[in-house]
Amino acid sequence: VEPPPMEDGQNVTTLSDAPKEVCPKPEPHRSPYTEIEYVCIIIFTVEYILRLLSCSAGPGVCRFLAQVMNLIDLISILPFYIQKIAGSSGLEGLAVLRVLRLARVLRIFKLSRNFQGLILLMQTFRKSAGALLMLTFFVAMSLVVFATLIFYCESGEWDEYRQQYVRSDGQQTPFESIPASMWWCLVTMT
């Protein structure tokens, strides 16, 4: 409805209290994670099939299927396809199998033996383990000492009504306890 023109040619616009739809409501069964899951499953399936096709016929395929990492890969892919084929016909038990997809993360350890930089880093950590433990001990001791000091120096007065420590200007102190003060010390030290 067009507003009536005023005497000097200006239009009057009125504001409405009616809610406006800014963006369409999302479909309840759809989320961005679904698309991400589809892409990942397709990539994992193609990779698994290519690895299966690239092993030699006969004993090579049997050896490929019997390896633990390949079984984990197969178990992580199958629940998706079983669920798609069966639909939502009471297969909630497959949710447990979906957790096994996380086992694919273990493959990073298999890859680590091929990277010289990662091997060198692990050797460095092994050789300097004593010094790192000493550093961790000194940081932990410093946390306890300085957190206790800052708590007792900056805690303020206890307010019975508010049930908290209050500074002289009436504001709440950020150092409510020694563990809360430890967080401040850790952030300050690092």
pLDDT (0 to 100) of residue 11: 54
pLDDT (0 to 100) of residue 23: 64
Question: What are the pLDDT digits (tens) for 158-181?
Answer: 888 888 888 888 788 888 888 888
The answer to pTM > 0.85 is: no
- Round to whole Å and give the CA distance between 102 and 106: 8
Question: What are the pLDDT digits (tens) for 6-64?
Answer: 555 555 555 566 666 666 666 666 677 778 888 888 888 898 899 888 887 777 788 88
pLDDT (0 to 100) of residue 116: 80
For residue 148, what are the contacts with CB-CB under 8 A and spacing of at least 6?
178, 181
From residue 34, give the alpha-carbon distance in Å to each of 38, 109, 116, 153, 174.
6, 28, 37, 53, 43
Question: Does residue 190 have a pLDDT over 90?
Answer: no
Question: What are the pLDDT digits (tens) for 132-154?
Answer: 999 999 999 999 999 999 988 88
As beta bridge partners, residue 5 has: 11
pLDDT (0 to 100) of residue 134: 96
Question: What are the pLDDT digits (tens) for 72-129?
Answer: 788 778 877 877 777 665 556 666 666 666 665 655 665 566 678 778 888 999 999 9
